[in-house]
Amino acid sequence: MRAMNVKARMLGMSKTRFVDPAGLSPQNVASIEDLVRLARAASQYPLIRQYSTDESAQIVVKGRTLTFKSTNAIVDRTPRRLANPSAKNGLYA
């Protein structure tokens, strides 16, 4: 947890606090500005960018193909604009 909070500070996320790595605790907090900083930083990693914007993915497990579909409505509508650093405000322009 310490490393996550240190990284957040390094990214300029001054209004963010992580208390669990899964992100499920209501005690995890972040401002919208900090979330934009996080999305921009994550978008610099091609694999993160791909996995966080794909509408679906298929994997083979024991010879059987499994399909997983995103339930995130934003991904379905605007998959590549959310974390685009060149977008007007970093979200959807």
Residues 6-25: b if buried by 16+ CB within 10 A, e if exposed = eebeeeebeebebeeeeeee
CB distance 4 to 21 below 8 Å: yes
Residue with tokens 């959310």: 82
* Structural domains of the chain, count: 1
pLDDT score recorded for residue 77: 57
pLDDT score recorded for residue 90: 43
Domain that holds residue 37: 2-77
Average pLDDT for runs of 10 along the chain of length 93: 95 95 91 93 89 87 93 64 48 39
Report if residue 85 sits inside a domain: no
Q: What is the pTM of this model?
A: 0.64
> What is the bridge-based pairing of β-strands 64-69 and 56-61?
antiparallel
Residue with tokens 């390094």: 10
